[in-house]
Structure 1
Amino acid sequence: MFLYLTAGTSDFMEMLQKKYDKENMIVLYSGDQSLLMHHTDGKTKFATPHSFSIVDSKGEFTDRGFFTVTYVDIFDDRAAIFEERLKSKDFGFLKEPGFIAYKLLKPIKATTFAIIIQWSGPDSYYAWKMSDAYKHDFDFMPENIAVDHLPTTLSVAPYTKEYMTTPSDNDDTEKN
Structure 2
Amino acid sequence: MNLYTTSGTPEFMEKIKEKHSGENMVLLHGAGNSLLLHETEGKTVFQTPKRYEVIGASGQLAKHGYYIVNNIPVTDEGRPIFEHRFQNRANMVDGQPGFLTFRLLRPVKDDTYRVVTAWESKDHYELWKGSQAFKGAHERKEQTPPAEKVQNIFSAASYITEYETEKPEDEKL
Q: Pick the TM interval, shorter chain.
A: 0.7 to 0.9
1:82 alignment partner AA: F
Which residue in the other structure is 1:3 paired with? 3
Deviation string for 1:114-157 (max 9, x for gaps)? 000010110010111123432332458xxxxxxxxx97111111
Deviation at 1:95, TM superposition (A): 2.8
Give runs of aligned pairs for residues 100-119 of structure 1, distance below 5 A: 100-119=100-119
Contact 1:60 1:101 (8 Å CA) reproduced: yes
Indicate the residue corresponding to 2:73 in structure 1: 73
Counterpart of 1:16? Answer: 16
What secondary structure sits across from 1:95 in the alignment? coil
The separation in 1 between residues aligned to 2:139 and 2:133, in whole angstroms, is: 10
Once the two structures are superposed, the pairs formed by residues 1-176 of structure 1 within 5 Å of their partners are 1-89=1-89, 91-139=91-139, 152-168=152-168
Report which of the two structures shows the higher radius of gyration computed on alpha carbons.
2
Give the residue type in structure 2 aligned to 1:16: I
Distance 2:131 2:83 in 1: 24
Runs of 4+ in 1 over 6 A off after TM superposition: none
Check the 8 A contact 1:10/1:32 in 2, yes or no.
Answer: no
Q: Could you list the per-position Cα deviations for residues 16-70 of structure 1 after superposition, in whole angstroms to 9, with x for gaps in the alignment?
A: 1011111111100113210000010011111111100000111111211111111
SS in 2 for 1:77: coil
Distance 1:27 1:49, change over 3 A: same
Shift in Å at residue 111 of structure 1? 1.1
Structure 2: gaps spanning 5 or more residues: 141-149
Distance 2:50 2:157 in 1: 19
Give the number of equivalent residue pairs. 162
Unmatched 5+ residue regions in structure 1? 141-149, 172-176
